[in-house]
C-alpha cells in the first residue's frame, strides 16, 4: 500500500500525467483530420487491419488507391479549409456513419507498424468518436516512450538538462503526438533513443528505452532507418564512443529486437514501394558498422573529425548530384530548395495542421533564441557539445535537401520540417548535457535560475502556438482574438476550456521538471 501511495505521488508519475494531459489537449482540441494526411492514414490503417495493403488503383493517379472501409473513416474531408488559413474548419461538417464506403488513400505504402493499432478503432460502431479513438490508440506507444524518456532524463540529469530536453519538444511535436500520423512514433522513438544513449554511462547495459526507441523510429516511416542512423552516429560522436559498444552491452533480447526492427523496416520498404530511394534509406544503418571501422583504421583521427568529413562528403555529393543531373535538377529548383530552408526551420516550431495554423513569427524566433542561449552556454563551458550541436543542425539542413531530391519531387515542396524532428528534438538537450555541472561551479544556483528562465520561455512558446492554432481552426487566422466568441466546430470540449487545460498541464509539466535535483546531488539510478 505504501509503495502504491509513493508511486502515485512521485515526480515521475506527475511527469507522465502531465505529458498525457498536454497530448490530450491536442488530441481533442485539433479538429478531425486536421493533421497532415490524417484522413489518408485513417483509411490505410482501417484497410490494414482488414488485411488489405493495396486497393483498387485510381485512374490518373500513381499514388492513390481506393479501399472499402466504414463510412466515418477518412471523413470529414479537410479540403474546404486545408491550406486556407482564413477559413474556419466549420465548413467540413459531413454526416458520419458506420456504413461501408469507398475512399482513396495514398498512405498504403507506409510501413504497417504504426498504423495497426489505430486501425482497430474502425471496428468500433461510434461514428462521431472514431477519429478521437483512433488518435488515442495511435498515441499510446509514442506517449509512453516520450514520458519514459523524460522520466529517465529527470532521474539522471539536472533540472537544466531536463528542461532542455522538454524544450526540444516544440509545439509541432505535441501536435503530432495528438493526431493519427506515423511521425508520432518516429519522433517519440527518437526521443527515447537519444535519452537512452545519452544517459547510459560507463559499462552500464544498453537500456530497453534505447532499444524500443530504435525499433519505433526505424519502423514508423520509410526514412526511419536514415534518422536512426543519424541519431546513433551523432550520439556516438557526442559521447566519444563506438556504436558497437552499445550493441555489445545490450541483452540478448535487446539485440534480437534491434536486428528484427531493422529486418522489419527492410521488408516493409522492399514490399510496399517500387522506388529504389526508400530502399537506399533502409540500408543506411550499415554505416554504423562501416564508419567505426574507418575510425579504428585511422586511429589518430577523432570521431568529430570523421563526422565533419562525412558531413562535407554528403554536401559535396549533393552538389555533384545537382551538377551532374541537369535534366531533372535545374538551377531554379536548386535555388527554391535552398530558399525553403528558412521555412523548414519555421516548421520545426510553429506550423501545425496542414502548415496553415502558424505560430507568430515572434514565437518562433523566441524558441530559436532560447536554443541560441543554451548554445552560447555550451560554447562557453562545453565546446565539444557545441560543435556536435552545430553538426546536428547542419545535418538536418543538408538532409532536407538530399531527401527532397531523392523523393523525386521537383517542386521543392515535398519536405516538411517535422520530418527532421527525430534529430532536432535533441538539439537543446545535446547543447545542455555537459554544461549543467559547470554552471553550478561558477555560481551556486545558476543552473536552477537558467533552467527556470528556459522553462518560462518554453511555456510561452507552447501556449502562444496552441492559442494561434485554436483561433485559426475556430474563426480563421483573421478572426476574433476572444475565445468566448469562437465557433466550437463540434469539438468534444469548448476551445476556451482546452486553452486553460493546456496552459495548466504544460505549466505542471515544466514545474515538475524544475523540481529535478541538481546533478551534484544525484545518485545514479
What averages of pLDDT result for each successive group of 10 residues across the chain (525 residues)? 52 94 96 92 95 88 89 91 89 86 90 94 92 96 97 92 96 96 96 95 89 95 90 88 86 93 86 68 81 58 58 54 52 77 90 89 96 93 90 88 75 80 95 77 70 95 96 91 86 91 97 72 39
Phi, psi of 68 (to 5 degrees): -95, 110
Task: Compute CA distances 483 → 170, 313, 503, whole Å.
Answer: 23, 51, 14
Query: Which pLDDT value is given to residue 93?
Result: 81
Return phi, psi of residue 300, to 5°: -75, -15
Enter the pTM of the model: 0.90
Angle between helices 208-220 and 252-272 (to 10 degrees): 0
DSSP state letters, 257-285: HHHHHHHHHHHHHHHH---HHHHHHHTGG
- Cα 66 to Cα 44: distance, rounded to the nearest angstrom: 10
In the prediction, which pLDDT does 329 show?
Answer: 63
How far is 265 from 243, CA to CA, in rounded Å?
A: 20
DSSP 65: E
What integer pLDDT is reported at residue 4 of this predicted model? 44
Taking each helix axis from N to C end, the angle separating 38-48 and 130-156, rounded to the nearest 10 degrees, works out to: 100
Instruction: Look at residue 182 and give its three-state secondary structure.
Output: coil
Q: Is 476 left (phi over 0), alpha (psi -120 to 50) or beta?
A: left
Query: In angstroms, what is the C-alpha Rg of the chain?
Result: 23
SS3 (DSSP) at 394: helix
Burial zone of 295 (CB within 10 Å; 0-12 exposed, 13-18 middle, 19+ buried) = middle
Cα dist. 416→236, 384, 436 in Å? 27, 29, 33
What are the residue ranges spanned by the domains of the chain?
37-135, 136-520
| Phi-psi region at 479: left, alpha or beta (left = phi > 0; alpha = psi -120 to 50) | beta
CB atoms within 10 A of CB 264: 16
Check residue 206 and give left, alpha or beta (phi > 0: left; psi -120 to 50: alpha): beta
Q: In which element (H, E) is residue 68 found?
A: strand 65-70
> For residue 518, what is the DSSP state?
P
66: part of which helix (H) or strand (E)? strand 65-70
Contacts of 379 by beta carbon, 8 Å cutoff, 6+ apart: 386
Amino acid at each position: 500500500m505504501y509503495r502504491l501511495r509513493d508511486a502515485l505521488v512521485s515526480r515521475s508519475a506527475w511527469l507522465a500525467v502531465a505529458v498525457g494531459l498536454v497530448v490530450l489537449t491536442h488530441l481533442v482540441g485539433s479538429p478531425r483530420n486536421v493533421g497532415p494526411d490524417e484522413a489518408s492514414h485513417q483509411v490505410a490503417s482501417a484497410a490494414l487491419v482488414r488485411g488489405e495493403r493495396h486497393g483498387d488503383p485510381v485512374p490518373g493517379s500513381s499514388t492513390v488507391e481506393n479501399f472499402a472501409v466504414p463510412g466515418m473513416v477518412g471523413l470529414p474531408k479537410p479540403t474546404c479549409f486545408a491550406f486556407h488559413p482564413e477559413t474556419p474548419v466549420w465548413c467540413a461538417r459531413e454526416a458520419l456513419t458506420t456504413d461501408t464506403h469507398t475512399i482513396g488513400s495514398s498512405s498504403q505504402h507506409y510501413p504497417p507498424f504504426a498504423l495497426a493499432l489505430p486501425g482497430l478503432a474502425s471496428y468500433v460502431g461510434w461514428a462521431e468518436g472514431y477519429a478521437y479513438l483512433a488518435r488515442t490508440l495511435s498515441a499510446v506507444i509514442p506517449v509512453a516512450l516520450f514520458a519514459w524518456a523524460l522520466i529517465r532524463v529527470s532521474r539522471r540529469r539536472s533540472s537544466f538538462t531536463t528542461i532542455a530536453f522538454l524544450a526540444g519538444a516544440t509545439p509541432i511535436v505535441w501536435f503530432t503526438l495528438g493526431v493519427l500520423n506515423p511521425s508520432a512514433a518516429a519522433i517519440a522513438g527518437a526521443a527515447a533513443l537519444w535519452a537512452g544513449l545519452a544517459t547510459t554511462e560507463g559499462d552500464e547495459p544498453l537500456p530497453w528505452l534505447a532499444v524500443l526507441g530504435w525499433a519505433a523510429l526505424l519502423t514508423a516511416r520509410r526514412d526511419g532507418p536514415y534518422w536512426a542512423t543519424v541519431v546513433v552516429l551523432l550520439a556516438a560522436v557526442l559521447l566519444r564512443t563506438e556504436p558497437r559498444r552499445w550493441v555489445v552491452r545490450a541483452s540478448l533480447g535487446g539485440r534480437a529486437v534491434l536486428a528484427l526492427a531493422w529486418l522489419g523496416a527492410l521488408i516493409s520498404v522492399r514490399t510496399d514501394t517500387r522506388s529504389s530511394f526508400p530502399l537506399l534509406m533502409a540500408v543506411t544503418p550499415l554505416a554504423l558498422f562501416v564508419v567505426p571501422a574507418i575510425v579504428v583504421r585511422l586511429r589518430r583521427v577523432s570521431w568529430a573529425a570523421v563526422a565533419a568529413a562525412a558531413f562535407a562528403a554528403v554536401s559535396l555529393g549533393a552538389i555533384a548530384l545537382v551538377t551532374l543531373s541537369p535534366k531533372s535538377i535545374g538551377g531554379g529548383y536548386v535555388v527554391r530548395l535552398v530558399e525553403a530552408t528558412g521555412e523548414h526551420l519555421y516548421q520545426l516550431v510553429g506550423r501545425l495542421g496542414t502548415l496553415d495554423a502558424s505560430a507568430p513569427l515572434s514565437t518562433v524566433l523566441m524558441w530559436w533564441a532560447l536554443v541560441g542561449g543554451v548554445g552560447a552556454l555550451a560554447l562557453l563551458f562545453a565546446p565539444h557539445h557545441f560543435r556536435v550541436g552545430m553538426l546536428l543542425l547542419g545535418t538536418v539542413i543538408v538532409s532536407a535537401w538530399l531527401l527532397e531530391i531523392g523523393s523525386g519531387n521537383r517542386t521543392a515542396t515535398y519536405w516538411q520540417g517535422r520530418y527532421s524532428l527525430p534529430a532536432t528534438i535533441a538539439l537543446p538537450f545535446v547543447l545542455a548535457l555537459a554544461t549543467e555541472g559547470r554552471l553550478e561551479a561558477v555560481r551556486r544556483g545558476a543552473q536552477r535560475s537558467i533552467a527556470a528562465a528556459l522553462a518560462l520561455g518554453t511555456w510561452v512558446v507552447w501556449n502562444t502556438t496552441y492559442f494561434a492554432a485554436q483561433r485559426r481552426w475556430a474563426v480563421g487566422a483573421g478572426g476574433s482574438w476572444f475565445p468566448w466568441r469562437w465557433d466550437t466546430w463540434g469539438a468534444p470540449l469548448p476551445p476556451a476550456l482546452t486553452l486553460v487545460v493546456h496552459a495548466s498541464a504544460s505549466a505542471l509539466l515544466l514545474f515538475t521538471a524544475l523540481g529535478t535535483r541538481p546533478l551534484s546531488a544525484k545518485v545514479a539510478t
